[in-house]
A and B are shown apart, each in its own frame.
Chain A
């Protein structure tokens, strides 16, 4: 299970246990639970940064039938595709659909968590029925998330190799397009995360952005490795999404 999935699992377990605890002891003060809110905010910020690389969330609505109408991956400039390429494109489209479901599941998870935390401060105390329904939605979203997370990771890993294969095949078939291919940056792995401005944020706007707490020593150490001696140290504050850094980003709840 990926690290991100582990975060979801932990957060869900924590929220579910808090719902159960509040339900068993409705006398618990809402103030006692507020310390966990920081964890939720950090999770949201983390999700947002990760989702910066995903398809625009604002234009996505969870509607299984409509997934078929999604715009497929950008087609190759060539009009004629081989059977193998068609198969690869269809596979990529299915993977995009899975990624969309993954994104939607995370979005619903974030909305559900915000509802759970908001319900603790509402007048009349925690509503057991409503909290139960929200936790059931979270469970469904978590299940979808887990089932698609593995596919998403696999898709991300095979994406580069698939494109390399396609490039090689295209080069073999159309040697005259090689100069254009070299300059085609669309299908190249991005050196830095692209930011896509969305119309509506996938996560609730009322949750403020909060950077994940980092170990200062480790952060500076990482930045020092990547920075050239002549570059300004401001780059030390930019988070680079690599596996080793992710291990340190996740705060303890």
Chain B
């Protein structure tokens, strides 16, 4: 972590995506996810496409530079649909991608839009059969009368071809918009969450799912909160959490009952009355929840802060980090331009010592938990020379602006980093700006 006395600095590695300032809406990145080994990096966009990057295994570069990520596979996961019964258009935007742990040579991932979840198999083909008895090389059937001998087809090498095929389609189970999917540690089930319900699926069964959480009130006029994110515990297959728009997190145990409407634990921090405003409810809404890799903590992201919770303590978070507190006085303007509704994600590093989240002006923030240090970095084309070290940025909240500081009024609220991902084992991060994917790595000293 770059800071006084810090020994880690972040430097630019790669950037993916078009350079044009005119951004097509379909190219806007909507989700980023590393697989369990970090070898593969998947992105989803608003156009319903999934692009998978693979880290090169052969390290031909100097030791200071890790292998690059190159395009491995691209496929159209979801198409726009129209629900004729409800007269609603269903967007093809990929809301979430989750990788399954690898069991064989093929890779599997779940991708979801607002209504439908799909299981994709990504497999490699580097050999093809040759020497069929009944077919020509181009696939046409031979004249049986022309066949005079019998031969055994052989497999010959060919150029690597990566195929993506949909293996399962989990549809028609959600009335409201799906915001989360999470694969269970049992590798057999997964959950999907929309605004009011959470369903439990088996990966092999597509025609039914179990509803495990339902917070829809009998009278919708009494609706006070919605589900914003949900995740399974990384090790306990019976435990999951879901966050709400009221800023609460509920932990549920599926062993207690079939319907987990009653929570096992409720994590909630009392609101500070001095910060009360018109927009208190909006900024307290949790946009993301993530368990730590060791399963002891969980992290939540609301509009202005990141909070770390100990699963054994429900009354308050153990750590709170302010991401961009200088925006508190700008909430009215942010409400008018809709930025206050942005849903920022957050992520842990491999050993749970650092957390990262995005902000505006293409800034992203890292918080080092142990040393209580934080840094603000920027993902921009200006800082995209190979191995260029990222310079920490500072935002001037008020008063006299120092050199190299940027004032709050100069921030570009159209440039926002909502999606970030951290390699599970290495110090490599993927940061998604509007339509570009930046990959940074730590500078090995």
| Residue B106 at the chain A interface, CB threshold 8 Å | no
The reply to whether A137 and B335 form a contact with Cβ atoms under 8 Å apart is yes
The reply to whether B285 and A124 form a contact with Cβ atoms under 8 Å apart is no
The reply to whether A125 and B88 form a contact with Cβ atoms under 8 Å apart is yes
Residues of A with C-beta under 8 A to B179: 129
Residues of B with C-beta under 8 A to A16: 221
The reply to whether B85 and A27 form a contact with Cβ atoms under 8 Å apart is yes
B332 to chain A, nearest CB (A): 5
Residues of B with C-beta under 8 A to A140: 278, 280-281
**A26-B176 contact, Cβ under 8 Å, with A125-B89, A129-B228:** yes
Which parts of A1-49 form the interface with B (CB within 8 Å)? 16-17, 20-21, 23-24, 26-29
CA A130 – CA B86 in complex, angstroms? 20
Contact with A along B142-184 (1 / 0, CB 8 A): 0000000000000000000000000000000001110100000
Residues of A with C-beta under 8 A to B220: 20-21, 23-24
Residues of B with C-beta under 8 A to A141: 278
| Residue B68 at the chain A interface, CB threshold 8 Å | no
| Residue B226 at the chain A interface, CB threshold 8 Å | yes
The reply to whether B282 and A133 form a contact with Cβ atoms under 8 Å apart is yes
Q: A108-B335, A123-B89 are in contact. List 11 more A-B contacts (CB 8 A).
A: A27-B86, A62-B277, A124-B91, A128-B196, A129-B179, A129-B245, A132-B225, A136-B282, A137-B279, A137-B281, A137-B282
| Residue B336 at the chain A interface, CB threshold 8 Å | yes
| Residue A211 at the chain B interface, CB threshold 8 Å | no
The reply to whether A133 and B281 form a contact with Cβ atoms under 8 Å apart is yes
The reply to whether B177 and A133 form a contact with Cβ atoms under 8 Å apart is no
Binding site for B on A (CB under 8 A): 16-17, 20-21, 23-24, 26-29, 61-64, 108, 111, 115, 123-125, 127-130, 132-133, 136-137, 140-141, 144
**A63-B329 contact, Cβ under 8 Å, with A24-B220, A26-B88, A137-B282:** yes
CA A63 – CA B86 in complex, angstroms? 42
Q: List 20 A-B contacts (CB under 8 A).
A: A16-B221, A27-B85, A27-B88, A29-B87, A62-B332, A108-B278, A123-B89, A124-B88, A124-B90, A124-B93, A124-B114, A125-B89, A125-B177, A128-B226, A129-B226, A132-B225, A132-B226, A133-B281, A133-B282, A140-B278
Residues of A with C-beta under 8 A to B219: 20
Q: Report the nearest A residue to B222, measured CB to CB.
A: A20
Q: Report the nearest A residue to B279, measured CB to CB.
A: A137
A201 to chain B, nearest CB (A): 12
Residues of A with C-beta under 8 A to B176: 26, 128
Residues of B with C-beta under 8 A to A123: 89, 91
Binding site for A on B (CB under 8 A): 83, 85-91, 93, 114, 175-177, 179, 195-196, 219-221, 223-226, 228, 245, 277-282, 285, 329, 332-333, 335-336, 338, 341
B190 to chain A, nearest CB (A): 22
Q: Report the nearest A residue to B280, measured CB to CB.
A: A140
CA A21 – CA B223 in complex, angstroms? 11
CA A49 – CA B228 in complex, angstroms? 40
A135 to chain B, nearest CB (A): 9
Residues of A with C-beta under 8 A to B282: 133, 136-137
The reply to whether A124 and B89 form a contact with Cβ atoms under 8 Å apart is yes
Residues of B with C-beta under 8 A to A28: 87
B338 to chain A, nearest CB (A): 8
The reply to whether B221 and A20 form a contact with Cβ atoms under 8 Å apart is yes
Residues of B with C-beta under 8 A to A17: 221
The reply to whether B83 and A27 form a contact with Cβ atoms under 8 Å apart is yes
B323 to chain A, nearest CB (A): 19
Residues of B with C-beta under 8 A to A63: 329, 332
A26 to chain B, nearest CB (A): 6
Q: Which of B195, B223, B285, B335 is in CB contact (< 8 Å) with A111?
A: B335
Residues of B with C-beta under 8 A to A62: 277-278, 332
CA A108 – CA B175 in complex, angstroms? 31
Residues of B with C-beta under 8 A to A29: 87
Residues of B with C-beta under 8 A to A24: 220
Residues of A with C-beta under 8 A to B195: 128-129
Residues of A with C-beta under 8 A to B91: 123-124
CA A125 – CA B90 in complex, angstroms? 8
B228 to chain A, nearest CB (A): 7
The reply to whether B245 and A132 form a contact with Cβ atoms under 8 Å apart is yes
Residues of B with C-beta under 8 A to A132: 223-226, 245
The reply to whether A137 and B278 form a contact with Cβ atoms under 8 Å apart is yes
The reply to whether A133 and B88 form a contact with Cβ atoms under 8 Å apart is no
CA A29 – CA B83 in complex, angstroms? 11
Q: Report the nearest B residue to A21, measured CB to CB.
A: B220
The reply to whether A20 and B223 form a contact with Cβ atoms under 8 Å apart is yes
A103 to chain B, nearest CB (A): 13
The reply to whether B223 and A136 form a contact with Cβ atoms under 8 Å apart is no
CA A61 – CA B333 in complex, angstroms? 9
Residues of B with C-beta under 8 A to A124: 88-91, 93, 114, 177
A203 to chain B, nearest CB (A): 11
Q: Which of A21, A108, A128, A133 is in CB contact (< 8 Å) with B332?
A: A108
Residues of A with C-beta under 8 A to B279: 137
CA A111 – CA B338 in complex, angstroms? 11
Q: Report the nearest B residue to A62, measured CB to CB.
A: B332
Residues of B with C-beta under 8 A to A137: 278-279, 281-282, 335
CA A23 – CA B176 in complex, angstroms? 9
The reply to whether B175 and A26 form a contact with Cβ atoms under 8 Å apart is yes
B215 to chain A, nearest CB (A): 11
B12 to chain A, nearest CB (A): 35
The reply to whether B177 and A61 form a contact with Cβ atoms under 8 Å apart is no
Q: Report the nearest A residue to B85, measured CB to CB.
A: A27
CA A128 – CA B285 in complex, angstroms? 13
CA A61 – CA B336 in complex, angstroms? 12
Q: Which of A27, A28, A124, A140 has the most CB of B within 10 A?
A: A124
CA A28 – CA B278 in complex, angstroms? 30
The reply to whether A23 and B177 form a contact with Cβ atoms under 8 Å apart is no
The reply to whether B85 and A136 form a contact with Cβ atoms under 8 Å apart is no
The reply to whether A61 and B332 form a contact with Cβ atoms under 8 Å apart is yes
Residues of A with C-beta under 8 A to B225: 132
CA A141 – CA B335 in complex, angstroms? 13
The reply to whether B245 and A133 form a contact with Cβ atoms under 8 Å apart is yes
A250 to chain B, nearest CB (A): 24
Q: Report the nearest A residue to B340, measured CB to CB.
A: A133
Residues of A with C-beta under 8 A to B278: 62, 108, 137, 140-141, 144
CA A12 – CA B279 in complex, angstroms? 17
